[in-house]
A and B are shown apart, each in its own frame.
Chain A
Amino acid sequence: MALLQISEPGESPAPHQRRLAVGIDLGTTHSLVAAVRSSVPEVLADETGKALVPSAVFIEECGQALVGNQALSKQEAFPLDTLVSIKRLMGRSYSEALKSGMPYEFVEDGQSMRVKTRHAALSPVEIAAKILEKLKLLAEGTLGDALVGAVITVPAYFDDAQRQATRDAARLAGLNVLRLLNEPTAAAIAYGLDHGSEGVYAVYDLGGGTFDVSLLRLARGVFEVIATGGDTRLGGDDFDALIADDFIKARQLTNVSHQTRRTLLSASRRLREALTDLSEHVESVVIDGQTDALTLTREAFEQIAEPLISRTISCVQQALKDASLTTQDIKGVVMVGGATRMPIVRRRVGDVFGSTPLTDLDPDQVVALGAALQANLLAGNRHPGEDWLLLDVTPLTLGLETMGGLVEHIIPRNSTIPVARAQEFTTFKDGQTALAVHVVQGERDLVSDCRSLARFELRGIPAMVAGAAKIRVTFQVDADGLLSVSARELGSGVEASVTVKPSFGLSDDEISRMLTEGMSKAGVDAQMRMLREQQVDAQQLIESVKAALAADADLLSAAEQTRIAQQLNVTTKAAAGEDVDAIRVAIKALSAVTDDFAARRMDRSIRAALTGRSLEDL
């Protein structure tokens, strides 16, 4: 493992200490990994020279997975075992999966669900993890060393459950997630840095399964997202489904099997892609042993497609309204996502904005390239003069259920993140000692119309008359767009909190169990490597704690200093031994006793940085 050199922010480590970080675009149809090499971001090609890895996973009899083109080649023979477009199921419930119309067998699994193949039943998180694992191996193979971390992109309009699921998948794949980055924002970085642009730009991102629109102000190295909108159930797949439905209706097919549906969807996609350059096309299909033909003119396709395009335009108009802008304020519109190759999309978007959309960066690659640039920046590899800051927003309003099934909005959509907001509530009944907190996400006023994110209870409130208790509920959204909620009764100090996730994703316990299982299967070499890595990690932590003590011991009480000194001893001894688990435990313990110290030092250094700067510095 590469040594983690901690340098001051703003300082570039020496070349040989470059820390490898990649950007990953985990797409509905394709996934890509990109890295900055010799100051230029580039997409890393796989062993066959292809940059786009199909987001397809085939589960073999032994339970092993094939990923990418290898998986896709099995699709025709084994449509139920070849999992594609899994991104559409991330963070979704069983009933939502059924409603998706995707031709797979779903099984309910508590709050979440699994996709059933002949040999396994996997959660969308596990399936996505297989794709990410493949990209990780590809990157490490190409770059020649282990990765420090990755920036993973998500649709801007992904809700909390979908973001959590994506982060879980990355962790399961053994990736250190430096940041979840919104796809349109990633594209804006790639464009903005490439063109040195200033002004307000729109990013229109129509992918395989999701649609996003973001409005960004680019000024002096700051990418400020002003508003975002979209639809996480609208992408190229939906155009294919309309073509397939049209065919099914025309042929009056009934009881369409999953296999037939998959055949038709694949043919529809080839047909749609062909119509980008041709005015008419035919795809032959074999249905139940009979050969048939899907025929479509571009004109007919555009009629079918019109309602979907109109939905994207409505999202664009809502985003403009949210930002209090008109199309005249927009300097350019950037096209992202393979589905923006459709001529009707370019034409309609061009009409709305009154300008020719920008398409000079490959719409399939631009998100991964932007993510790679951001990953390189976050890993601390930036060179002097090469610096920028992203200020992104929450896509959806976050709120709480109050009396009568109504939603009290706490953090409105398009709030700059990170954001923390608190609101005070009180009890409804005399002597009430517990308060149920139900966290929801969505724009509507009724709880039943919003997405339920989490429920938790604040217990042990001292009995008082109704309305006397003062309960402060705090929402915190971090830079990944992930929410945590805490509640505190101000009189008694009773507290409860939750990191929003258990509703649909995997619990932390589940993830660590899966990771441990993976490790126990590893061979002797890998175990030796793990031991060395743990020893190095321990040594680094010990060094950094010693350095921190030398610089800022005045931040600690005598008792705290003693506690830290004791744990330093314990960890030093463990690091000299060969017991991987003991070292891991000792590292954890030393981190735990020095956490507050690290936080105080950080606070001190930020305060110093803020007072030391003047207004003209930016």
Chain B
Amino acid sequence: MDATTDLSLATQDHFALLGFPRSFSLDQHALELAWKRVALAVHPDRFATRSAAEKRVAMQWSSQANEAYRILKDPMSRARYLCELAGVDLQVETNTAMSPDFLFRQMTWHEQLDALLEESHDSHARELAYQGLIAELSQAENEMVLEVGDLLDHNRFDQAASCVREWMFLNKMIAQLRAID
């Protein structure tokens, strides 16, 4: 394929496609409306009687629109995507460096979790401890989202990337905790 027929649309970023500025903070409802507006314009159902080649183009645009919405609607994947657009690799697999402050908090959370798991006799106390820990972690996550958003919206992508890694860690811990229940 030569350049003109390469319809992979690599140049079209998710924000541009849905008509939003590159920014962490966005209105979820407006995003959903924008997705549906684009979907309505490009969905293969709009071109059901066209030739196979034309339908293929519609399918590619439509896939792109769905992917854009999926990435942008979730705050964490939106943050990761913004770092990626800025050329900052999150190094999720390789980079495990975290701030001393976060490591310390992480340690205390783990201690609370272990204590919780050992508290097998008193189910009421266990429930209280469980709810307390969930609340504390959710609170920490909320603060982290604000911090990531602030860093991203001020183009401080390197700091944002390390903050996103901590956020991913925290998010995973919350998911594990919910799975225990």
Residue positions of A touching B, CB distance < 8 A:
4, 6, 9, 19, 148-149, 178-179, 220, 222, 224, 377-380, 389-391, 415-421, 476, 478-479, 555, 591, 595-596, 598-603, 606, 609-610, 613, 615, 617-618
Contact = CB atoms under 8 A, between A and B. Distances in A.
A182 to B, nearest CB: 13
Given A606-B57, A615-B30, A420 B51 contact: no
B36 A389 contact: yes
7 contacts: A222-B36, A222-B40, A380-B48, A380-B49, A596-B53, A598-B51, A606-B41
Contacts of B4: 555, 600
A149 B47 CA distance: 13
Given A149-B48, A476-B59, A610-B41, 4 more contacts: A379-B48, A380-B48, A610-B17, A618-B40
Given A419-B63, A476-B63, A615-B33, A599 B53 contact: yes
B64 to A, nearest CB: 8
Contact of A9 (B5, B46, B59): B46
B44 to A, nearest CB: 4
B62 interface: yes
Interface string B13-36: 000010100000000001001101
Contact of B49 (A178, A419, A478, A618): A178
Contact of B45 (A479, A613, A617): A479
B119 to A, nearest CB: 28
A419 to B, nearest CB: 6
A241 to B, nearest CB: 37
Interface in B71-108: none
Contacts of B17: 610
Contacts of A555: 4
B30 to A, nearest CB: 7
B43 to A, nearest CB: 6
A454 to B, nearest CB: 19
B49 A148 contact: yes
B57 A613 contact: no
B47 A599 contact: no
**Most chain B C-beta atoms within 10 Å of own C-beta, residue among A389, A390, A415:** A389
A479 B41 contact: no
A389 B35 CA distance: 12
A599 B5 contact: yes
A479 B34 CA distance: 20
**Most chain A C-beta atoms within 10 Å of own C-beta, residue among B7, B38, B49, B50:** B49
B50 A479 contact: no
A576 B159 CA distance: 71
B41 A615 contact: no
A6 B5 CA distance: 24
A287 B45 CA distance: 52
Interface residues of B, number: 40
B75 to A, nearest CB: 15
Nearest to A221: B40
A101 B141 CA distance: 53
B20 to A, nearest CB: 10
Nearest to B52: A595
Contacts of B63: 418-420, 476
A483 B36 CA distance: 23
A476 B61 CA distance: 12
A558 to B, nearest CB: 14
Contacts of B50: 6, 602
A377 B45 contact: yes
Contacts of A476: 59, 63
A425 to B, nearest CB: 14
Contact of B54 (A178, A390, A602): A602
A479 B42 contact: no
**Most chain B C-beta atoms within 10 Å of own C-beta, residue among A19, A377, A380, A599:** A599
Contacts of B172: none
B60 interface: yes
Given A149-B49, A555-B4, A606 B58 contact: yes
Contacts of A148: 49
B110 interface: no
A601 B5 CA distance: 10
A184 to B, nearest CB: 17
Given A378-B45, A420-B67, A599 B39 contact: no
B66 interface: yes
A417 B67 CA distance: 10
B156 interface: no
A416 B73 CA distance: 13
B7 A603 contact: yes
Contacts of A222: 36, 39-40
A428 B145 CA distance: 39
A418 B41 contact: no
Contacts of A6: 49-50
A179 B60 CA distance: 17
Top-10 shortest CB links A-B: A378-B48, A420-B63, A602-B57, A595-B53, A602-B54, A479-B44, A598-B53, A599-B53, A618-B37, A9-B46
Contacts of B70: 415-416
